[in-house]
C-alpha cells in the first residue's frame, strides 16, 4: 500500500513537472563565494554587470537590450523590481507586459547572461516612493522600512508572490539568478537590525540563493545597512575608495567576501528645473576616460562591478519618483537616460564603445558577440494639435468626496495624477494661499475659472500666491503629484494631494469637493473642439511614419512639443510621460513598438496644463535628441 501510494505520488510530481521539462533541461547550478572570489559551479566568476530594469523598457525590446548588454561584454544583469507596478491595488497582481519579470530573466539566460535580483521591497531607483505602492499609507499603524508588523506583513505577501514567480529561475534550479539583494542602501536611512533580520528571513523563505547588502562607502552607511551572516557589498563612483571603506568598516567575518561595486555610477539623474542641466558622460573625454579607468582597475584586480545604469529606460506615465534634497523636491524626469552606455532608445553611446573595447581585454578572445543591428531613429514632420476638450469638462457631475477639510489623494483610492479641490466661498477673505502643510507637489490655483498662480515644491521657497475671495467665488486647486520621494527622510510619509487646512491669510476654508483625476485612462470622447481659456485642455493630433516597411526599432523617435508649457503625452493610448518647458528634457521617447506603420494614423493626445489661446500647439518627431533649459513661466 505504501509502495503504491509512493508510486502514485511520484507520478503526480512528474506530471506537474512535465511542462517545465525540455529535450535538453538546464542543469542545476550553484553560486557561492570565498574570501576573494565569487564561484559559479565551483569556478571563479568575475561579475561584469550592469543595471537594467525590465519595468522601464517595452517588453518587445527586452531581447534587443539584453543582446546589447552581452555585446558590450557584460555577463550579469542587475534588476530592481517595482512592487507598486506589480500590486497596484492590494491583492490584485499584474505580471503582464512590462511586469512579466520571469520572462525577462528567461530571455537574459537565453542571451547568455546571469542575473542579480534586487526586489526591495524598497528599491529607491528614482521610482515613486522607492517602489512602494501608494496604498501602503492607508494601512493603520504603517511605518515603512521598520520592524513594523503592518509593513512586514505587506512585504511578505509581496515577496511570497514574487518568489512564486521567480524561484524556479534561480541558479540552483538551472536558472540565471545568482543572488538576491537584502533591502537597498539601508544604511543611508536607518540601522534597525531587527527589521533587516525579519526581511532576510522572508527572502530566505522564498529564495535559496545567498543574500547580499549594498551600501554607500562610509562608516555609518555600512554599519547601518549590513547584517550578520549576509555578504556586505558597497557602491559608489570611485570603486577603489568604496572597496577600501568596505574592508575598513566591515569587520564581521560573516559579512566578508569578494568585492563588488554594486552601483558604479556612470553619471547622475536629471530632475525638472530651469537650472538643472542634462547629465551625460559621452562627449566628455575626461569623464569617459575616468569611467573606463575605474572599471578597468576593478577588472585588473579581479573584483566585480555593476554599472548603474547600463541602460536606464523610461519613467512612463507617472512612474517617476523624487529626491528631497537642499530643501526642494527634485522631481525626476520621464527620461531615465542617466547618461548610460546604452541610451534611452537602446542605441550605443561613446562610453558604450569605449567600455566594450576595454572589457574585451579581460575576457576570452571572441567571447563578446557582434553588435546587433540597430536602425537609425526616424523623424516625423511637424503636425498640428487641436484643442478637443477642457479637463474640467470631463469630470463627473458628482465629486469623489465632499468634506469639511481637503482629503488626500490616497484616501480617494488614487496613486498618481491629479486631484481637483473645489470650494465655494461663504465669506470674503484675502491673503496668501496656504494649501496644507507643504505643497504636494504643484498646485495651480483658479478663482472663477481664471488662473491666479502656481505653488511649486520644486522650489526651496514656493511662490506666494495672493488671493482675494468674495462670498460666492469658486476657488479651484488642481494638485499634481510630481513623484513621491524615493530617497531621504521625508520618504517615511508620502501622502499626496492636500494634507491639512487650506487657508487664505489666517482664515481656514471649510467645505470642499474633491475630484479624483488619476488619468489611468483617457476621456472617452476627444472629438470635440474646446475653447482655450486658463484651465487645462486635452489636445489631439495625428502623425504618420515615413517608412512604410517599418520594423519596431526603426519606428523609434523622440516627440518634441516646442510650444508646450507643461503636461502629459499619450501616443496610441500609451502614456509616454511628462513634458515641461523648464527642461532639461525637451522631448519624449516614443518606442517604435507603440507606433503604427503602413500609412496609418498615430493618435496623439496632449494634456496641456497651462494653455494659451494665442499659442497653436504642434508636435514633431526628431532623430537627434536636444536637451536644454528654458525659464519657468511660473517661477517665484
pLDDT in tens, 560-578: 999 999 999 999 999 999 9
Q: Enumerate the active-site residues.
A: 185, 263
Taking residues 309-316, what's their average pLDDT?
98
Buried b (16+ CB within 10 A) or exposed e, 232-270: bbbbbbbbbebbebbeebbeeeebbbbbbbbbbbbbebb
Tell me phi and psi for residue 110, to 5 degrees: -60, -30
What is the residue-wise DSSP string for 525-551? Answer: ---S-PPP-SS-EEEEEEE--S-TT--
pLDDT at 42 over 50: yes
pTM for the model stands at 0.94
Q: Residue 490: which pLDDT band, with cuts at 50, 70 and 90? A: confident
Confidence of residue 283 (pLDDT cuts 50, 70, 90): very high
The model's pLDDT over 372-425, given as tens digits with 9 standing for 90+, comes to 999 999 999 999 999 999 999 999 999 999 999 999 999 999 999 999 999 999
Q: Which residues contact 169 (CB under 8 A, 6 or more apart)?
A: 102, 105, 106, 109, 115, 175, 176, 177
DSSP lists the bridge partners of residue 618 as 384
Pull the grid cell for residue 339: 547618461
Contacts of 538 (CB under 8 A, 6+ apart): 387, 388, 389, 390, 391, 394, 522, 523, 526, 530, 605, 606, 607
Strand partners, 568: 578, 607
Q: DSSP letter string over 360-402?
A: TTSS-TT-SPPPPP-PPPP-EEEEE-EEEEEGGGGS-SS-SEE
End-to-end CA distance of the chain: 83
Give per-residue pLDDT as tens, 461-488: 999 999 999 999 999 999 999 999 998 8
518-540: per-residue pLDDT in tens?
A: 999 999 999 999 999 999 999 99
211: closest CA among 268, 151, 262? 262
pLDDT, position 27 = 81
Cα→Cα distances 483→145, 240, 318, 406, 515, Å: 19, 34, 7, 20, 19
| Residue whose entry in the numeric block shows the C-alpha cell 529606460 | 313
Distance, in Å, from the CA atom of 62 to the CA atom of 65, rounded to the nearest integer, reads 5
d(CA 33, CA 16): 33
The Cα–Cα gap between 74 and 368 comes to: 8
- CA pair distance 82, 96, nearest whole angstrom: 13
Helix (H) or strand (E) segment spanning residue 443:
strand 442-447
3-class DSSP state for residue 58? coil
DSSP 540-586: EEEE--S-TT--TGGG-EEEE-TT--EEEEEETTEEEEEEETT-SB-
Give one word for 397, left, alpha or beta, with left for phi > 0 and alpha for psi -120 to 50.
alpha
Amino acid at each position: 500500500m505504501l509502495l503504491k501510494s509512493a508510486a502514485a505520488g511520484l507520478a503526480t510530481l512528474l506530471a506537474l513537472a512535465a511542462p517545465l521539462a525540455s529535450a535538453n533541461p538546464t542543469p542545476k547550478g550553484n553560486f557561492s563565494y570565498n574570501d576573494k572570489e565569487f564561484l559559479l559551479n565551483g569556478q571563479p566568476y568575475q561579475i561584469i554587470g550592469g543595471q537594467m530594469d525590465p519595468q522601464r523598457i517595452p517588453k518587445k525590446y527586452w531581447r534587443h537590450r539584453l543582446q546589447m548588454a552581452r555585446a558590450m561584454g557584460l555577463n550579469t544583469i542587475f534588476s530592481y523590481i517595482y512592487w507598486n507596478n506589480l500590486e497596484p491595488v492590494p491583492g490584485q497582481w499584474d505580471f503582464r507586459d512590462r511586469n512579466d519579470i520571469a520572462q525577462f530573466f528567461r530571455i537574459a539566460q537565453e542571451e547568455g547572461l546571469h542575473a542579480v535580483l534586487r526586489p526591495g521591497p524598497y528599491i529607491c531607483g528614482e521610482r515613486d516612493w522607492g517602489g512602494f505602492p501608494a496604498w501602503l499609507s492607508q494601512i493603520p499603524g504603517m511605518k515603512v522600512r521598520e520592524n513594523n508588523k503592518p509593513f512586514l506583513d505587506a512585504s511578505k505577501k509581496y515577496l511570497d508572490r514574487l518568489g512564486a514567480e521567480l524561484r524556479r529561475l534561480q541558479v540552483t534550479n538551472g536558472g540565471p539568478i545568482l543572488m538576491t539583494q537584502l533591502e537597498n542602501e539601508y544604511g543611508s536611512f536607518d540601522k534597525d537590525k531587527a527589521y533587516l533580520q525579519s526581511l532576510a528571513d522572508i527572502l530566505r523563505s522564498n529564495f535559496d540563493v545567498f543574500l547580499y547588502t549594498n551600501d554607500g562607502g562610509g562608516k555609518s552607511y555600512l554599519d547601518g545597512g549590513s547584517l550578520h551572516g549576509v555578504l556586505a557589498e558597497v557602491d559608489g563612483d570611485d570603486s577603489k575608495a568604496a572597496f577600501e571603506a568596505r574592508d575598513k568598516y566591515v569587520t564581521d567575518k560573516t559579512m566578508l567576501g569578494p568585492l563588488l561595486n554594486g552601483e558604479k555610477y556612470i553619471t547622475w539623474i536629471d530632475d525638472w528645473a530651469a537650472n538643472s542641466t542634462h547629465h551625460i558622460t559621452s562627449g566628455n573625454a575626461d569623464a569617459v576616460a575616468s569611467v573606463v579607468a575605474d572599471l578597468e582597475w576593478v577588472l585588473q584586480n579581479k573584483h566585480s562591478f555593476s554599472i548603474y545604469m547600463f541602460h536606464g529606460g523610461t519613467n512612463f506615465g507617472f512612474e517617476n519618483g523624487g529626491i528631497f534634497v537642499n530643501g526642494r523636491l527634485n522631481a525626476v524626469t520621464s527620461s531615465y537616460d542617466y547618461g548610460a552606455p546604452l541610451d534611452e532608445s537602446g542605441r550605443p553611446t561613446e562610453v558604450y564603445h569605449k567600455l566594450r573595447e576595454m572589457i574585451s581585454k579581460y575576457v576570452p578572445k571572441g567571447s563578446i558577440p557582434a553588435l546587433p543591428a540597430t536602425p537609425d531613429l526616424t523623424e516625423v514632420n511637424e503636425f498640428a494639435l487641436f484643442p478637443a476638450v477642457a479637463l474640467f469638462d470631463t469630470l463627473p457631475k458628482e465629486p469623489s468626496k465632499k468634506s469639511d477639510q481637503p482629503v488626500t489623494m490616497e484616501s480617494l483610492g488614487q496613486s498618481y495624477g491629479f486631484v481637483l479641490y473645489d470650494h465655494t466661498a461663504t465669506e470674503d477673505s484675502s491673503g496668501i494661499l496656504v494649501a496644507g502643510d507643504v505643497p504636494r507637489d504643484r498646485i495651480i490655483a483658479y478663482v472663477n475659472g481664471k488662473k491666479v498662480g502656481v505653488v511649486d515644491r520644486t522650489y526651496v521657497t514656493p511662490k506666494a500666491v495672493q488671493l482675494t475671495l468674495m462670498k460666492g467665488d469658486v476657488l479651484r486647486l488642481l494638485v499634481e503629484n510630481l513623484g513621491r520621494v524615493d530617497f531621504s527622510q521625508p520618504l517615511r510619509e508620502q501622502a499626496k494631494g492636500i494634507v491639512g487646512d487650506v487657508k487664505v491669510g489666517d482664515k481656514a476654508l471649510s467645505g470642499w469637493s474633491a475630484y479624483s483625476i488619476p488619468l489611468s485612462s483617457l476621456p472617452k470622447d476627444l472629438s470635440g473642439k474646446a475653447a482655450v481659456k486658463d484651465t487645462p485642455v486635452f489636445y489631439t493630433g495625428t502623425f504618420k511614419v515615413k517608412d512604410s516597411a517599418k520594423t519596431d526599432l526603426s519606428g523609434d523617435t523622440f516627440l518634441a512639443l516646442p510650444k508646450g508649457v507643461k503636461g502629459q503625452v499619450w501616443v496610441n493610448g500609451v502614456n509616454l510621460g511628462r513634458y515641461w518647458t523648464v527642461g532639461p528634457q525637451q522631448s519624449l521617447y516614443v518606442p517604435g513598438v507603440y507606433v503604427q506603420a503602413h500609412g496609418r494614423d498615430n493618435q496623439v493626445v496632449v494634456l496641456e496644463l497651462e494653455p494659451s489661446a494665442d499659442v497653436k500647439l504642434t508636435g514633431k518627431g526628431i532623430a537627434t535628441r536636444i536637451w536644454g533649459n528654458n525659464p519657468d513661466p511660473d517661477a517665484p
